[in-house]
């Protein structure tokens, strides 16, 4: 145990005293941390600390050191008392300090029975061990960001926004920047933007400044970018400050015809993404369409032509989602999407073929063959679209039936002989 955690030990020399929150918090620095002011954790950062909590008489009421387990919390999210949220935010990595917190910045008039009485001023010896200064923008952790400066606005751009940014960009490890602009306008619906940059910008607020790291899969990929002379499979780095943005019209503000027109535009963008191999981006656009018309088809006052247009758009969207998920080898999703298409049109040959393929990849041979055979009845010329997997399914089913005959054939022959011997005719 660190000697500084022992209430009876001689306390280290106080190097500096800082008064915060108009005297509500007093910080006495016992050991300086490393780095400058830019190395202090910002709001939203998860920090790891060791601490010892004492009453003013020196008695310890809580200690992570005694438990031999550091404590983690996120700055600015109300997970801890105000004295910690505000006090730890002023610390540098490695800093050791005592935070003296007045009751209103601790547990207030209620206290925290039985160890902390009402209206108690508390002392916390806190050591800031580390923090995670990066957080994931995407679920696969291939787009990461570090907050450099927090803005004040809480609104974010939507997928049709025109954003104004101050930004530089470079290939990771390179000295030269391929973008270095004090004021740059970007259209978030522009498919030439790296997908990771689009996702990072949609998660920012005005005044935010982030360092963003983008894996090739979310950047320019295997093609690179000739305009910016970015090579293939390049890891990208951006320094972005969001200056302003103007959002496109929100869907809830749109009339029914406007939503249909927007849905059709999303379909066109999705189709372009699919053709260029951007499956994830395509599926996002198609998925947006599926959320556009929730409950609209049940509206008794809906215009019949609008209803017909929505039904056609939804059917083609689920068909496109099935194509994307099949290409992405997400076979369970393919079956879900084709089921939705076939619920509206049971004779949709393309949906039957896609479901047949997905079922085959999941070793659902019997169901797969049923889909393919029904598709053939509806369109005898569709064997080319089925591809080699149709022959594989037929071979698998033949092998399974041959095996069943070998296993059960002798059994049924014996049953027939016994039946004949006792005079029971076949049913």
* Residue 164 CB neighbours (<10 A): 17
**Residue 337 to residues 115, 158, 286, 332: CA-CA distances in angstroms?**
58, 26, 12, 9
Nearest CA to 218 among 192, 190, 196?
196
* Residue entry with tokens 């200064």: 133
End-to-end, the C-alpha distance of the chain in Å comes to: 86
Identify whether the C-beta of residue 292 lies closer than 8 Å to the C-beta of residue 262.
Answer: yes
145: helix, coil or strand?
strand
Query: Do the bridges between strand 46-55 and strand 71-74 make them parallel or antiparallel, or are there none, so unpaired?
Result: antiparallel
* Residue 168 CB neighbours (<10 A): 15
Catalytic residues: 51, 61-62, 81, 107, 124
Q: Is the peptide bond before 319 cis (omega within 30 degrees of 0)?
A: no
How far is Cα 186 from Cα 153, in angstroms, rounded to an integer? 19
Rg of the Cα atoms in the chain: 32
Nearest CA to 149 among 44, 246, 54, 273?
44
* Residue entry with tokens 């994830």: 280
Nearest CA to 281 among 243, 321, 254?
321
- CB neighbour class for 397 (10 Å; exposed up to 12, middle 13-18, buried from 19): middle
* Residue entry with tokens 């003296």: 100
Cβ within 8 Å of residue 202, ≥6 positions away:
156, 157, 158, 159, 161, 188
**Residue 365 to residues 330, 361, 374, 409: CA-CA distances in angstroms?**
17, 9, 14, 22
How far is Cα 100 from Cα 23, in angstroms, rounded to an integer? 10
59: which DSSP letter?
A: -
Paired residues of 26 in beta bridges: 19, 100
Token couple for 315: 């059917």
């Amino acid at each position: 145990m660190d000697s500084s955690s022992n209430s009876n030990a001689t306390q280290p020399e106080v190097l500096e005293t800082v008064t915060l929150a108009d005297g509500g918090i007093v910080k006495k620095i016992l050991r300086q941390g490393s780095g400058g002011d830019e190395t202090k954790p910002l709001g939203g950062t998860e920090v790891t600390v060791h601490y010892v909590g004492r009453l003013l008489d020196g008695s310890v009421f809580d200690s992570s050191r005694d438990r031999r387990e550091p404590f983690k919390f996120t700055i600015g999210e109300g997970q801890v008392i105000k004295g910690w949220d505000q006090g730890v935010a002023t610390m540098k990595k490695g800093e050791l300090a005592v935070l003296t917190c007045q009751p209103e910045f601790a547990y207030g008039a209620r206290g925290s029975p039985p160890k902390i009485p009402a209206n108690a001023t508390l002392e916390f010896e806190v050591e800031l061990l580390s923090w995670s200064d990066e957080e994931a923008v995407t679920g696969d952790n291939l787009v990461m960001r570090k907050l450099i400066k927090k803005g004040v606005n809480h609104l974010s751009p939507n997928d049709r926004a025109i954003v104004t940014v101050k930004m530089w960009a470079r290939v990771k490890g390179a000295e030269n920047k391929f973008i270095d602009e004090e004021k740059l306008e970007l259209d978030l619906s522009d498919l030439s933007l790296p997908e990771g940059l689009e996702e990072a910008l949609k998660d920012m607020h005005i005044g935010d400044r982030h360092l963003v790291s983008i894996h090739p899969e979310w950047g320019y990929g295997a093609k690179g970018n000739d305009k910016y002379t970015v090579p293939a499979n390049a890891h990208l780095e951006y320094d972005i400050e969001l200056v302003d943005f103007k959002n496109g019209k929100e869907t809830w503000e749109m009339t029914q015809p406007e939503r249909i027109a927007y849905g059709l535009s999303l379909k066109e963008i999705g189709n372009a993404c699919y053709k260029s191999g951007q499956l994830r981006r395509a599926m996002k656009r198609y998925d947006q369409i599926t959320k556009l018309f929730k409950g609209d088809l049940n509206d008794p006052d809906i215009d019949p032509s609008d209803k017909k247009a929505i039904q056609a758009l939804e059917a083609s969207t689920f068909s496109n989602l099935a194509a994307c998920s099949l290409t992405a080898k997400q076979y369970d999703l393919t079956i879900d999407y084709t089921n939705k298409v076939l619920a509206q049109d049971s004779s949709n040959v393309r949906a039957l073929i896609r479901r047949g393929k997905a079922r085959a990849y999941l070793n659902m041979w019997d169901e797969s063959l049923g889909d393919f055979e029904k598709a053939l009845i509806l369109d005898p010329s569709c064997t080319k679209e089925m591809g080699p997997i149709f022959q594989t399914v037929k071979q698998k089913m033949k092998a399974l039936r041959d095996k069943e005959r070998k296993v059960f054939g002798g059994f049924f022959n014996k049953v027939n002989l016994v039946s004949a011997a006792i005079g029971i005719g076949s049913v």
